[in-house]
């Protein structure tokens, strides 16, 4: 499936860096609009749109858009196994002709037998999480295949695409065999990052120097090879991994936490456009190895906080573009509705691009991605805390700084798909990622677990 390394590097840069040129200015413009009292608008009505695979109106989309569902929980994959549930982070990692290869996370935390994958051995035979790989043919406009890619992991939430054509999958858990099995009877400690190649077999060996904590997503700076990592906790840090050999992460490196100078806590109350210098502190025990008999080691965040590391709230989505790192704090901000941040590696500054003041405008952005056209896609994973809920949404941020609702979850089933029943409209979006040419958006709805390929007149939304 995968093409040469140089081609894969071009592929990765195409959908991460091309089009990102205008994103920073777009987000800044959005902040200015909000400051002037202009809220997000629904530029195009969303209408129930039938899925070309099932005939069901699973999504609400603007006129002119269409989609194809695939890989429902329980569907038989090409390797004979049922599709695992809890679809989450996802990325396009390789291209061969008109066929794209995507790697998809499955955020499973329950104990149980691990599924199989490509002649490999599960990391933990008692863990049900992992990744599957999917092939989509853009010319024939159809899904082709799916199979297990790595298994025996826990809560594979998000991750990120590498420039060399692989997927880094992150465990959103630090469950331990030493926890008294309060969580599950796992055979291994968890809380790691794993690499899933586009070709060959994943080793299912954790990259331990990248730290053992409640991971979420990663983004790689193409200029330095440094990896930026987010942490999904109420008190969380922004981390940087400096590999000993860029592109060979398993060879080890140094993990550091960000200190936003003068700002020990960034969980709310800032104006859009606020910018601060950043410095970094080395984490001395990223693997959480025991330092003394019977003494539980400090967490990565606890170590970093003592060194001056700054506190964010639930850092989730993370993406590289135009030499910048974009990331979000899902429930950051005074309204606990979310913040979008930008880190500039060259100038070592972090900037609050947008803080949502109203949950009805933007509520708890999770996964995010940059499109080749230059807009930004935000996946909601919202919580209205007693308010009348809205269906979960995909939102677009255009290059001229306008926030629009692009899609709504409209899944209501009566047994049509693998016996699934009920309303799932309040279940989260995840895994947004574009084809290199920007014509197809791939995204998941985590529950009941399904993947979509969406296409249409993107220039009307992202230009």
pLDDT computed for residue 42 by the predictor = 59
In whole angstroms, give the CA distance from residue 164 to residue 174. 28
Which residue carries 């001056």 as its tokens? Answer: 308
Q: Pick out the chain residues at pLDDT < 50.
A: 2-24, 31, 34-38, 180-181
Q: Which of 151, 204, 203, 155 is nearest to 175 (CA)?
A: 155
Distance CA 186, CA 204 (A): 15
User: Per DSSP, which regions of 107-202 are E strands?
Assistant: 129-137, 142-153, 156-161, 166-171, 193-197
User: Which pLDDT score, from 0 to 100, does residue 1 have?
Assistant: 54
Q: What is the pLDDT of residue 61?
A: 98
Token pair 């994103």: residue: 23
CB 405 within 8 A of CB 414: no
Determine the pLDDT at residue 217: 97
Q: Which residues contact 295 (CB under 8 A, 6 or more apart)?
A: none
What pLDDT is stored for residue 272 in this prediction?
86
In the prediction, which pLDDT does 8 show?
A: 42
State whether residue 242 is helix, strand or coil: strand
What separation in angstroms does the CA of 199 have from each of 95, 118, 150, 303?
A: 11, 10, 12, 37
Q: What does the alpha-carbon distance between residue 173 and residue 441 come to, in Å, rounded to a whole number?
A: 28
Distance from C-alpha of 78 to C-alpha of 140, rounded to nearest angstrom: 19
Buried b or exposed e, range 362-399, using 16+ CB within 10 angstroms: bbbbbbbbbbbbbbbbbbbbbbeeeeeebbbbbbbbbb
Secondary structure of 34-102 in HEC code, one letter for each residue: HHCCCCCCCCCCEEEECCCCCCCCCEEEECCCEEEEECCCCCECCCCCECCCCEEEEEEEEEECCEEEE
Which pLDDT tens digit goes with each residue over 325-351?
A: 999 999 999 999 999 899 999 999 999
Q: Give strand pairing partners of 355.
A: 339
Q: What is the pLDDT of residue 461?
A: 75
Beta bridge partners of 358: none
């Amino acid at each position: 499936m995968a093409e040469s390394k140089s081609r894969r590097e071009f592929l990765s840069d195409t959908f991460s860096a091309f089009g990102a040129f205008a994103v920073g200015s777009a987000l800044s413009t959005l902040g200015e609009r909000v400051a002037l009292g202009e809220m997000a608008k629904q530029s195009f009505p969303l209408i129930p749109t039938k899925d070309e695979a099932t005939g069901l109106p699973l999504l609400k989309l603007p006129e002119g858009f269409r989609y194809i569902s695939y890989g429902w929980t329980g569907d038989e994959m090409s390797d004979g196994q049922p599709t695992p549930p809890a679809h989450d982070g996802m990325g396009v990692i390789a291209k061969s002709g008109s066929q794209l290869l995507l790697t998809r996370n499955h955020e499973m935390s329950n104990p149980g037998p691990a599924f199989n994958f490509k002649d490999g051995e599960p990391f933990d035979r008692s863990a049900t999480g992992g990744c599957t790989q999917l092939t989509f043919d853009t010319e024939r406009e159809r899904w082709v295949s799916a199979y297990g890619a790595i298994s025996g992991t826990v809560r594979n939430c998000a991750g990120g695409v590498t420039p060399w054509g692989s997927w880094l999958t992150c465990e959103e858990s630090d469950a331990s065999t030493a926890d008294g099995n309060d969580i599950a009877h796992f055979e291994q400690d968890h809380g790691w990052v794993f690499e899933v190649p586009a070709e060959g077999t994943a080793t299912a060996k954790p990259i331990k120097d990248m730290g053992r904590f409640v991971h979420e997503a990663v983004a790689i700076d193409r200029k330095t090879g440094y990896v930026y990592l987010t942490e999904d906790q109420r008190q969380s840090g922004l981390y940087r991994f400096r590999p000993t050999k860029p592109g060979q992460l398993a060879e080890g490196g140094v993990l550091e936490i960000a200190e936003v100078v003068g700002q020990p806590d960034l969980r709310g109350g800032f104006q859009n456009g606020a910018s601060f210098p950043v410095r970094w502190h080395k984490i001395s025990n990223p693997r959480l190895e025991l330092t003394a008999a019977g003494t539980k080691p400090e967490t990565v965040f606890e170590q970093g906080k003592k060194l001056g590391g700054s506190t964010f709230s639930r850092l989730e989505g993370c993406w590289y573009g135009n030499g910048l790192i974009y990331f979000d704090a899902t429930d950051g901000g005074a309204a606990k509705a979310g913040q979008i941040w930008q880190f500039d590696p060259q100038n070592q500054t972090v900037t609050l691009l947008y803080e949502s003041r109203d949950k009805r405008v933007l509520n708890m952005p999770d996964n995010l991605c940059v499109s080749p056209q230059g807009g930004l896609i935000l996946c909601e994973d919202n919580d209205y805390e007693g308010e009348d809920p809205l269906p979960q949404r995909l939102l677009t941020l255009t290059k001229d700084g306008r926030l629009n609702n692009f899609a709504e979850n409209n899944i209501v089933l009566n047994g049509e798909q693998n016996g699934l029943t009920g309303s799932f409209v309040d279940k989260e979006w995840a895994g947004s990622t574009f084809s290199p040419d920007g014509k197809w958006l791939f995204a998941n709805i985590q529950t009941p677990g399904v993947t979509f390929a969406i296409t249409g007149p993107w220039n009307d939304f992202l230009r």
